[in-house]
Amino acid sequence: MSYSAGNGRAPLDRFDVFAPHAAGVVVRIDGQDHEMIKALDLPGHSPRGLEPAPEYASGEHSPMGWWTLPDEAAESVPSTTVRYGYILSKVLDPGTPEERTIESAVLPDPRSMRQPQGVHELSCTYDPADFEWTDHDWGGADLEDTVLYEMHIGTFTPEGTFEAAIEHLDALAELGIDAVEVLPVNGFNGSRNWGYDGVAWYTTQEEYGGPIGLQRFVDACHERNLAVVLDVVYNHLGPSGNYLPEFFEVFTAGASSWGEQINLDDFGSDGVRDHILDNVRMWQEDFHIDGFRIDAVHALKDSRARHILQQISDRVAETSQRTRRRAFTIAESDLNDVRMVEDTQRNGLGMDGQWLDDWHHGAHWALSGESQGYYEDFASLGALAKSMTGAFFHDGSFSSFRGRSHGGPVDPQRQKPWQFVTYTQNHDQVGNRATGDRFPQTLSTDRLILAAALLLTQPYTPMIFQGEEWAASTPWPFFTAHPEPELADAVRSGRKAEFARMGWDEDSVPDPQAQETFDSAILKWDEREQGDHAKVLAAYRELIDLRRRTPELRGGFETIRTEFDEDGRWLVLHRGPVSAAFNFGDDAVDVPLGGAASSVLWSHGAEEPAGESIRLQGSGAAVLRA
């Protein structure tokens, strides 16, 4: 079905379509063609419930650009599931002797909810209201006090489906996870992808289980008190299977790092913005999604008075109020700009949280010693300490990687630490390495437990990447399955060139198109309780429980203080009466605590405190109360 604009407005019929510049539209339903008419030519049938806009007063197009089936045609269409697509007519050289009308091929619905045979084929009707939810008592979720878990449905299990993922939700709940953050599930071309090449934003990838699979997954999560955050991508469209430009002006001049620029502020951008905002509402309302991670918002070029992120924030709030289920938004942003998480009423962009790469970069250097590329500025414990206390390391300081000053400071009176989401591993930071190698490929078990302690005692909202909690042996390389040979070759060569610029051996880069590259990323759940994997898993369980039981670890910026010694390779994070001490060196060291400790709340590789210090073995850590 064509997903309706809704939101309190008159609903769309299931085949209504937005094509403001079409001279005519035919919908082909199960092989039968039906002529459509301009929606606002029908009394009382306005998909937007609005009056004709002045710029369309000539009547050349439908005032709002929507087309619908006449009543008699709509009544003849079976109410059962059908396959359908659109044929658009376009007039070329109007008003000249060469004037002629051409027709498009049969196109999939731009708001299709199902593409059973792939993004290039006919759409299939799906009514999300048919699903019988059991989460009637679920009230939604908040970002504050949450432990996130980032997961990719295709590699989370060997089956790569929502149904198979449900079998492991109990393990996540028992670990102490509050919310799963699911990499994009919207339709992409091919059978394997991280999800960021999506082109059919309203669909759910069929290989994962389609829309009903997602509904079952969310329902099962809520049954276990797990919230579901969906990763959504509105800054670009994938390179294959995108038919939106046939219908409306989805692109504008310019380009992002991933392709043509999404049109948020040029001619025709109202339709693009509606396409995004209605998509957000669909996930929240009909799939009971509890939150959104919005990909690379710095690539959303929007000069309009009301930024698209402000509108998304308001749309989420409106839908939450209507459904009585709380929801939140997280921006992936590298701007280091606190306006991202400032309230829209104060002219902020209204996001509840944002990813914090600066903390990751400082932690990565401290744990691994790697300082190439964008890690160069973070090659000191001072960098990690600065990010511990003020979120942004680059708060107006010079960025060597960018060759300019970058960012601005956090206001500790207005911002809260929980508004910043951080991690020691995530899909980007692991997958954007040449071989997709994780920490377990290079760090010792003690070092991995140190990383867990660092992540789960730091001031910000922690996020764990799938399998991290048991030191998964599987890498996370970049993978695709583009059917087009030219596109596949372009992806291969592009990855090699990118890593060569970063100083990696391009010959070590796995072929992203190879089945074995994808297979290598699939988690091995049977290793979870074995040997050192079990030791790391136990540490994550203990530390998540400690974080939940220790409110001081979740206080405001005013409670955060650090001490560190670059030569001694130790750092202490103070949160009022609670301190977390870390030894990033290989040798034992006596770490001063700034006062006597009355109790050890958790430790690994640590001796009992002696006076006002504690002896930590190499890669040791301890959490203490004064």
357 is in an annotated binding site: yes
The torsion defined by the Cα of 136, 140, 145 and 148, in degrees rounded to 10, comes to 100
41 is in an annotated binding site: no
CA distances from residue 144 to 46, 164, 178, 421 in whole angstroms, order as listed: 40, 29, 10, 10
45 is in an annotated binding site: no
Cβ within 8 Å of residue 368, ≥6 positions away: 439, 442, 443
DSSP 2: P
CA angle (268, 269, 275) in 5-degree steps: 110
261 is in an annotated binding site: no
13 given a catalytic annotation: no
CA distance 47 to 42: 11
CA distance 2 to 109: 7
429 is in an annotated binding site: yes
430 is in an annotated binding site: yes
Quickly count: other Cβ atoms within 10 Å of residue 505's Cβ: 11
CA distance 568 to 589: 7
Is residue 521 within 8 Å of residue 541, measured between CB atoms?
no
Token pair, residue 355, equals 């990813």
Token pair, residue 495, equals 């990855």
586 given a catalytic annotation: no
First-to-last CA distance in the chain? Answer: 61
Q: Which amino acid is located at 247 in the chain?
A: F
427 is in an annotated binding site: yes
Q: How many CA atoms lie within 13 A of 462 on its CB side?
A: 25
295 is in an annotated binding site: yes
432 is in an annotated binding site: yes
Of the listed 295, 395, 446, 468, which one is catalytic?
Answer: 295
Of the listed 207, 274, 302, 332, which one is catalytic?
Answer: 332
CA distances from residue 468 to 47, 311, 421 in whole angstroms, order as listed: 46, 35, 16
Quickly count: other Cβ atoms within 10 Å of residue 321's Cβ: 10
CA distance 564 to 148: 28
Token pair, residue 241, equals 């299977």
Please choose, from the candidates 278, 294, 369, the residue with its C-alpha nearest in 3D space to the C-alpha of residue 9: 278
CA distances from residue 411 to 344, 360, 395, 575 in whole angstroms, order as listed: 16, 20, 11, 18
428 is in an annotated binding site: yes
Cβ within 8 Å of residue 130, ≥6 positions away: none
CA distance 424 to 447: 12
431 is in an annotated binding site: yes
E strand or H helix that includes residue 591:
strand 589-592
178 is in an annotated binding site: no
Cβ within 8 Å of residue 308, ≥6 positions away: 234, 264, 273, 276, 300, 302
Q: DSSP characters for 133-196?
A: ---TT--B--STT--EEEE-HHHHSSS-SHHHHHTTHHHHHHHT--EEEEPP-SB-SSS-B-ST
| Residues carrying an active site annotation | 295, 332
Residue numbers belonging to the annotated binding site for substrate:
293-298, 357-361, 427-432
